[in-house]
Amino acid sequence: MRILAATLFTILACTAFQSKAQYAANLIPKEMLSRASATVRFKETVLEIKSFNQAIETEKSAITIHNKAGDEYADLYIFYDKIRQIKDLKGEIQDEDGKVIRKFGMKDFKDYSASGQSNLYADDRVKSYSPLIRTYPYTIVYEYEIRHQQTLNLPSWQPNYSIDLSVEKSSFQVITSPEIDLRINERNLTNPVITKKEAKFNSYTWTVENIRAERSEPYSPSRRTTGMFVEVIPKSFQFYKYKGEVTDWKTFGLWMNETLLKDKQTLPASTVAQVKELTANLSSNREKAKALYEYMQKKTRYISIQIGVGGNEPFPAEQVDRLGYGDCKALANYMKALLDVVDIPSYYSVVTAGTTKSDLYKDFASLQGNHIILCLPSEKDTTWLECTSSESPFGYLGDFTDDRLVLAITPTGGEIMRTQSFNFEQNLQHRKSTLKLDETGLLKGTLETKFMGTQFDNHFTNYKKSLDDQKKELRGQYDIDRIEFTDVKYSLDDKNLVFTENLTIEVPNYAIKNGNNLTIYPNVFNKASAITELAKRINPVKITRGYTDIDEIEIELPEDLDARIKPADVKNEVPMGSYEMSIKMKDGKMYCYRKIQIREGEYPAESYAAFTQFMKDATFSDSYRYILPFLDKK
């Protein structure tokens, strides 16, 4: 009997351990470990939409972290606000054998503003937890429940959101009552949705299994365009105090006009009079708009404010006029109000901002974007305004918002439009330098650089800084040992959007003196960098923003230097770009001409080898040097 009891106890203990050890690291299939910093063992998200203003989100997840690079996947960030409340939050940390080494709950989470210290006001908050485990592998298992009192901005599903993350199993289930009409946005799915319609509820379930991690490949399309994605929104919804019904971008824009933007453009009578006086003697709408844009820049300043209707509703124009500050929403709305006074039409426009171009989904209306700009429509030349900058010239958008689909809120509803774009020839940096080299290797002289297109921003941040700060910035921008700037001047052609930099420089020991020789590198200021070589590339080559760099360099050499050189004349071209380099001597001066063009576009994966060789060759040519002897003075 004792033997039987002991045996039974052992079986139960083993069974219990096996149950708890289901996430032991050695159970992960070998193919799921390749290139993976972490592996999602199991992730189940359930979204129950109970009514037009109530939804419950629950998530259960287990993620095994393989190395230090995967630690970020163990960090938990749970966001909440006045209408998004955390009801349950708990988890545990397991070692590589699946044994629990720590449990955690709500009290173990840090709690702080979700918008950071740069925001003057913010409603959003976040609870965060980091395991801080340094023994690998380990597994974090957690679950939580969030109650939503709105149904416009609900959680989405992105199972393969990162390339170094493998996924054993992930699912997303949406449950609704039969009377809720659901709009669904699906992207890049491998498995179809499983739909069940019952008398009391409808359910929609998406599932994926065994997604391998991928190798990082430079110049790949963004994960937003290639990753799996699902979002759902009820056709009839409530967002904070506003109800709505949306089927497309047109109706979404009408809803915004009737709710978030309604009655927000009123200005004080004194400001209206000032606007009319300021524009009285200007003939064209463009001149008036430019004058009002510069008035807005001088009168206001940007401060991030993330309160009210999830940070999506602008402060009234009258309040901005009185306070003299606002966030992107408030300042764009204020600029629109100024233009309304003189009957210049403009559209409050929602954009996904960032140096990586990101389009709104043009075929699915939802609460997208993270920034507001202003559109001044025209059949021939639509103008876009960045209202948060006190220095940007009128009509210029840099690489923060260029060339992407945005939502323009017109009087008749929402309209998808594309912001201004620049091709590789327009994104121009053209530098001309006149330099003199002495016997010690000291290089000094002047250079003038013109910046255009998205390259306009390269050094524009220096424009209004003090001379000391300008020199500090320039030392980083011109990465040349011991370079000094004895004179700095900037000029702005705001009509043609050209920014010009004029510098006087000195570089001690630029040329290296070795015995009776002087080693000279003719290409002084601009050098290409090689890119990673890859065999058997999978992704297409995506160059989102092309450019043209031209450098014309003239170097007067010391008179006692033997300046006989072998001229260089290099030309190379691939589908992604072209390169030219020529070096020659004339009348005691060395002339170097360099031009590189990288063309935006998408190219086949197999063309990447030619691109890497092209950049490797450019890097080699950029480093040309001449070792020239001094003449015998006897």
Spell out the alpha helix ranges (H) of 283-428. 285-299, 317-323, 328-341
List all residues 6 or more positions away from 531 whose beta carbon is below 8 Å from its beta carbon: 218, 219, 611, 612, 615
Average pLDDT over residues 528-534: 94
Which pLDDT band, with edges at 50, 70 and 90, does 121 fall under?
A: low
Task: Report pLDDT digits (tens) over 416-442.
Answer: 999 999 999 999 999 999 999 999 999
- The more confidently predicted of residues 308 and 47 is 47
Q: What is the pLDDT of residue 380?
A: 82
Whether omega for the bond prior to residue 137 falls within 30 degrees of 0, making it cis, is yes
Residue 457 has pLDDT above 50, yes or no: yes
Q: Is 309 left (phi over 0), alpha (psi -120 to 50) or beta?
A: left
The better pLDDT of the pair 379, 96 is held by 96
Q: How far apart are CA 544 and CA 355, in angstroms?
A: 10
pLDDT at 307 over 90: no
Instruction: Give residue 360's pLDDT.
Output: 97
Summary mean pLDDT of the chain:
93
According to the model, what pLDDT value does residue 632 have? 77
pLDDT of the residue at 116: 54
Measured between alpha carbons, how far is 370 from 351 in angstroms, rounded to an integer? 6
Least confident stretch, 182-186, 306-310, 497-501: 306-310
CB 148 within 8 A of CB 18: no
pLDDT at residue 527 tops 60: yes
Domain chopping of the chain, boundaries: 13-239, 249-418, 428-629
Give the tens place of pLDDT for each residue, 335-391. 999 999 999 999 999 999 999 999 999 999 999 999 999 999 988 889 999 999 999
**pLDDT (0 to 100) of residue 11:** 41
Whether 3 has a pLDDT exceeding 50, the answer reads no
Confidence at residue 631, expressed as pLDDT on a 0 to 100 scale: 87
Residue 407: pLDDT band with limits 50, 70, 90: very high
All residues at 6 or more sequence positions from 141 whose CB lies less than 8 Å from its CB, including other chains: 23, 61, 62, 91, 92, 93, 94
Q: Give mean pLDDT, residues 33-40.
A: 97
Does 308 score more than 60 pLDDT?
no
Distant-in-sequence, close-in-space partners of 273: CB < 8 Å, separation ≥ 6: none
Question: Of 599 and 12, which is predicted with more confidence?
Answer: 599
Interaxial angle between packed helices 269-279 and 285-299, expressed in degrees from 0 to 180 and rounded to the nearest 10:
130
**DSSP one-letter string for 504-519:** EEEETT-SEEETTEEE
Residue whose structure tokens are 């179809």: 192
Average pLDDT over residues 90-102: 97
Asked if the 249-418 domain carries CATH number 3.10.620.30, the reply is: yes
What is the rounded distance in angstroms from the CA atom of residue 205 to the CA atom of residue 192?
9
pLDDT tops 90 at residue 148: yes
pLDDT at 430: 98
| Across 296-307, average pLDDT | 83
Are the C-beta atoms of 517 and 555 separated by less than 8 Å?
A: no
CB atoms within 10 A of CB 225: 14
User: How far apart (Å, rounded) are the C-alpha atoms in residues 477 and 159?
Assistant: 39
Q: Are 385 and 325 in contact (CB under 8 A)?
A: no
- What is the percent of the chain where pLDDT is above 90? 89
**Residue 139 near residue 65, CB atoms below 8 Å:** yes
Give me the pLDDT at residue 15, please: 38
Contact status, residue 429 vs residue 551, Cβ threshold 8 Å: no
Structure pTM? 0.90
> How large is the average pLDDT for residues 489-515?
95
Q: How confident is the model at residue 633 (pLDDT cuts 50, 70, 90)?
A: low
Mean pLDDT confidence for 516-529: 95
Average pLDDT over residues 510-520: 93
Instruction: Take residue 277 and report the two structure tokens written for it.
Output: 């006086």
Query: Which pLDDT score is estimated for 312?
Result: 87
H or E element at residue 616? helix 608-622
Closest CA to 433 of 521, 550, 520, 551: 551
Class of domain 13-239: mainly beta
